[in-house]
Structure 1
């Protein structure tokens, strides 16, 4: 059942990113930035998160900057270092995407009884604990 949900969620996010005209890596980079303090990170963090080369991250950053979704900033105290930050445009786009997903989930949750919600919550916590405790192959 969770596999079916993950496929449906993935399909929905693919449709969302295609409507924005961005690649999967660009979408994931914006998603990553949205999770960071100040919605910003250094390019090396994107390299590690996405598992792609420095050249690929530079190309991606250039494109996202051209489309107004990120801005480069000099890191205070080290003018050779740069961080990239999500712009207001990117923040709006990502909030709209994930807000729609949250709204769909809330609509479904409203149709469930408190008892059903407690059971689902317990199940999801147990699955999360199991996954977090597992060793990746």
Structure 2
């Protein structure tokens, strides 16, 4: 191999700026005290592991339910709305998902054919429909996504109020960084 040729590696490090930004053009690490960078990288690695676990869980739920990511997001919203006795129209669902009404109609047709939802007349507006999740799909979602959510709830509930505040502040700050980058 010549200089600059790729090296075979079983593990590529994705978030260490010492490796990926050694000139500190994007990430400034020179101001960190010795050892601080390792702590930052530990948090970044934990976040990466969480995202990967979340991705695997989401994909497993999608395979189990035989649905795509948008379909699953729609079902989660519809299930929550039903629990709260909120009537969801196709246009409200389109707004929640950030997709067109035409795409929503195609998705609802697919979900209805699969036995996941039913369309019913709106209780207050005869010109409109409401979308409801079938009992079978609600039970399947509870067995997969619901159980996972319950485990997360338990982990958070086990934290002290002060630690929950720190974690919530951390996620709020991380969310703000993503919103700044969304252009």
Question: What TM-score comes out, normalization by structure 1 length?
Answer: 0.78
Aligned: 1:28 with 2:73: yes
Of 99, 105, 120, which residue of structure 2 is paired with 1:73? 120
**Gaps (5+ residues) in structure 2?**
1-45
- Give the 4+ runs in structure 1 shifted more than 4 A: 103-107, 131-135
Matches within 5 A, 1:56-71: 56-71=103-118
Cα distance between partner residues in 2 of 1:132 and 1:69: 32
Cα distance between partner residues in 1 of 2:80 and 2:170: 22
**Contact 2:117/2:131 (CA < 8 Å) preserved in 1?**
yes
Cα distance between partner residues in 2 of 1:14 and 1:39: 28
Bigger relative contact order (CA 8 A; separation at least 6):
1
Number of residue pairs matched? 130
SS of the counterpart of 1:91? helix
* Compared CA separation, residues 11 and 130, structure 1 to 2 (3 A): same
Equivalent residue, structure 2, for 1:124:
167
Find the structure with the greater CA-based Rg.
2
Cα-Cα RMSD: 2.5
Question: What TM-score comes out, normalization by structure 2 length?
Answer: 0.60
